[in-house]
């Protein structure tokens, strides 16, 4: 079966799963909130010496993100390295208690429709382990291709590279992107390879859908999805 892909942060989720939004804290801050003595020892998160507090983490992480550096996307995994089972437990708990309520219904409905014909893949710059619990709250099965220590997705051309490792691009039926900087290379590549009939670009407001994005949406014949700002 062919693949249909989608970005995740601000596309399927109303915010960033790692960094949060105005309405919820992200998984990173949530994990740091589980480092205290009030947390049972078997579930207590132990930060790395490099990032002992959430504030120390942000001093390194936020500048890297601002530069769109590849290394920035690995830092969340390095903060609690070697504790995957506990990270998975708390990520699932955060999804159960909070994040499940911030899925974007219009995109979920579109992906549900596409899932009747295609395998759905999430292709994101956030850690895989943070995103995977979403499978419990979607009415279709998804495969997550995201940031892992040995399989990093950079933004931009990195999404194309990662996707090519699992499937020839001729087998990718379509994709939903949300920022041209990060999703544009993949959208453009798919448009040139397969045509634009199943390509979508999400805009939450006109400011987000900047001139460059608008020009490329027209250039490649991509369908624009206008959603409310959240």
| Average model confidence (pLDDT) across the chain | 92
Residue 162 CA to residue 144 CA, distance in Å, equals 11
Question: How many domains, in total, are found in the chain?
Answer: 2
Which of these three, 41, 65, 97, is where a domain ends?
97
pLDDT tens for each residue of 108-130: 999 999 999 999 999 998 999 99
Q: Is residue 21 part of a domain?
A: no
Stated pTM of the model: 0.93
Strand order in the sheet with 199-203: 142-147, 119-127, 3-6, 172-177, 199-203, 223-226
* 121 occurs within a structural domain: yes
Distance CA 230, CA 220 (A): 27
Domain region containing 70: 27-97
């Amino acid at each position: 079966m062919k693949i249909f892909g989608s970005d995740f942060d601000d596309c399927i989720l109303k915010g960033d799963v790692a960094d949060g939004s105005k309405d919820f804290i992200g998984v990173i801050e949530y994990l740091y909130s589980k480092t205290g003595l009030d947390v049972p020892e078997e579930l207590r998160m132990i930060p790395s010496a490099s990032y002992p507090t959430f504030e120390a983490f942000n001093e390194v992480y936020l500048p890297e993100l601002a530069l769109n550096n590849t290394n920035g996307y690995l830092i969340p995994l390095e903060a609690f390295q070697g504790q995957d089972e506990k990270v998975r437990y708390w990520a699932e708990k955060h999804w159960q208690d909070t994040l499940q309520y911030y899925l974007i219904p219009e995109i979920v409905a579109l992906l549900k429709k596409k899932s009747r014909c295609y395998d759905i893949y999430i292709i994101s710059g956030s850690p895989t382990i943070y995103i995977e619990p979403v499978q419990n709250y979607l009415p279709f099965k998804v495969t997550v291709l995201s940031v892992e220590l040995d399989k990093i997705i950079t933004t931009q051309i990195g999404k194309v590279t990662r996707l090519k490792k699992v499937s020839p691009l001729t087998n990718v039926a379509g994709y939903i992107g949300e920022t041209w900087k990060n999703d544009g290379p993949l959208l453009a590549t798919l448009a040139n390879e397969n045509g634009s009939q199943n390509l979508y670009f999400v805009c939450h407001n006109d400011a987000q859908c900047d001139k460059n994005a608008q020009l490329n949406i027209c250039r490649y014949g991509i369908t624009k999805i206008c959603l409310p700002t959240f």
